[in-house]
Copies of this chain bind each other. A is one copy, B any other.
Amino acid sequence: MRAVVMYAPGDVRVDETERPTIVEPTDAIVKLAATCICGSDLWPYRGADDVDHQPMGHEYVGVVEEIGSDVTSIALGDFVVGSFFSSDNTCEICRAGYQTHCVHRGPGAVPGAQAEYARIPLADGTLVATPAMPDEDLIPSLLAASDVLGTGWFAAVAAEAGPGKTVAVVGDGAVGLLGVLAAEQLGAERIIAMSRHPDRQALARDFGATDVVEERGAAGVQRVKELTGGLGAHSTIEAVGTQESMTQAIRATRAGGHVGYVGVSHDVSLPGEELFFSGVHLHGGPAPVRRFLPELVRLVWDREIDPGKVFDLTLPLERAAEGYQAMDERRATKVLLTF
């Protein structure tokens, strides 16, 4: 089968690789309907994470082609969406809603999903089947649920976005934009998108942003305070993962407010004293997408939300390298790869 492999930073190729097969009796093999490139794939692409001939991709939707002998809730032919982390969804941690930390999870995200087929461990606890075969136009939105929508949703929940709340969103990538969508769905009163890119500002407004702040750093914090009576946001979504973005998120939040951070943390160090005197709540990490998937699939299925709009470039899998380049240069927010 064809699969995207990152040979080294900046060097993405499409190779002919072995089609995966069932290894554990809890596995499923999914024939992907589409896949995509994640903002987090840019960390190794830019050399910020080590990479050496790595099969890429952890977002997927498609049809179940094979199941292990222990799989009971997913059937051959099901159209499924899965979380980017596998989970048994039965352990104590999963039951508490933290499937990303499932005691039986693998060592990291589901690997190698920028490919025609993917092996999904713990299929019963990881995959959610759609009610029927989806219309073609729903596929991007269902794919978004696999990670970026689920991650933005978790950030909004971690930030306790809801009625009466002003939510600030740091980061205008796909996750930040879908954090806006999530905050809107959760009933936030006001949503401040922090972005200086007109296209992304427009999409943020489409998803429910009521205000846009172009300033960054201290000036950005200052603008959020001006918009919130000097107090700061009740809830802030952090969707970048750098020292600057975390600092901006913490400082933009009022005492007693909540920061939901989902940008994969890179070289971040939080000064204890500032955090202590900030009085904010901090919660985040790799999103337990599985917690939210049934609801997210329903919202997409019923066409109540259209998170697939974050895909602003569609390429055939063969041209994955172009997709990485476009995202790296911020010419694309998120790239859909088709077969």
Instruction: Say whether chain A's binding surface is mostly helix, strand, loop, or mixed.
Output: mixed
Task: Assess whether B270 is in contact with A100, with CB atoms less than 8 Å apart.
Answer: no
Task: Assess whether A279 is in contact with B98, with CB atoms less than 8 Å apart.
Answer: yes
Closest chain B residue to A100, Cβ basis: B279
Stretch at the interface among A52-60, A116-124, A173-181, A254-262: A254-262
Task: Please provide the chain A residues from 254 to 296 with a CB less than 8 Å away from any CB of chain B in the complex.
Answer: 254-256, 261, 264-273, 275-286
Cβ-neighbour of A285 out of B97, B277, B286 (below 8 A)? B277
> Is A15 engaged at the interface, CB distance under 8 Å to the other chain?
no
CA–CA, A282 and B264, complex, Å: 17
Closest chain B residue to A243, Cβ basis: B272
> Is A50 engaged at the interface, CB distance under 8 Å to the other chain?
no
Q: Closest CB-CB distance, A94 to chain B, in whole Å?
A: 10
| Chain B neighbourhood of A282, CB < 8 A | 275, 281-283
> Is A64 engaged at the interface, CB distance under 8 Å to the other chain?
no
Cβ-neighbour of A281 out of B93, B264, B271, B281 (below 8 A)? B281
Closest chain B residue to A284, Cβ basis: B276
If A97-B256, A256-B96 touch, whether A275 touches B264 (CB-CB below 8 Å) is: no
| Chain B neighbourhood of A217, CB < 8 A | none
Task: Please provide the chain A residues from 211 to 232 with a CB less than 8 Å away from any CB of chain B in the complex.
Answer: 229-231
Task: Please provide the chain A residues from 50 to 107 with a CB less than 8 Å away from any CB of chain B in the complex.
Answer: 92-93, 96-98, 100-101, 103
If A231-B92, A281-B281, A282-B281 touch, whether A265 touches B275 (CB-CB below 8 Å) is: yes
Cβ-neighbour of A272 out of B93, B100, B103, B269 (below 8 A)? B269
Q: Closest CB-CB distance, A14 to chain B, in whole Å?
A: 30
CA–CA, A135 and B269, complex, Å: 50
Q: Closest CB-CB distance, A262 to chain B, in whole Å?
A: 9
Task: Assess whether B92 is in contact with A255, with CB atoms less than 8 Å apart.
Answer: no
If A276-B261, A276-B284 touch, whether A98 touches B231 (CB-CB below 8 Å) is: no
* Binary interface encoding of chain A residues 17-34 relative to chain B, with 1 for a CB under 8 A from any of its CBs, else 0: 000000000000000000
| Chain B neighbourhood of A276, CB < 8 A | 241, 261, 264-265, 268, 284-286
CA–CA, A101 and B278, complex, Å: 9
Q: Closest CB-CB distance, A311 to chain B, in whole Å?
A: 26
> Is A182 engaged at the interface, CB distance under 8 Å to the other chain?
no
CA–CA, A128 and B48, complex, Å: 54
> Is A113 engaged at the interface, CB distance under 8 Å to the other chain?
no
> Is A246 engaged at the interface, CB distance under 8 Å to the other chain?
yes
Cβ-neighbour of A93 out of B92, B96, B254 (below 8 A)? B254
Q: A98-B255, A98-B256 given. 13 additional CB < 8 A pairs? A: A92-B231, A101-B279, A103-B230, A246-B272, A264-B276, A268-B273, A269-B271, A270-B270, A275-B282, A275-B285, A276-B284, A281-B281, A282-B283
Would you list 26 pairs from A and B whose C-beta atoms are within 8 A, ordered by A residue? A92-B231, A93-B231, A96-B256, A97-B256, A100-B255, A103-B230, A103-B231, A241-B272, A241-B276, A255-B285, A261-B276, A265-B276, A267-B272, A268-B273, A268-B276, A269-B269, A269-B270, A269-B271, A269-B272, A270-B270, A275-B282, A275-B285, A277-B285, A279-B286, A281-B281, A281-B283
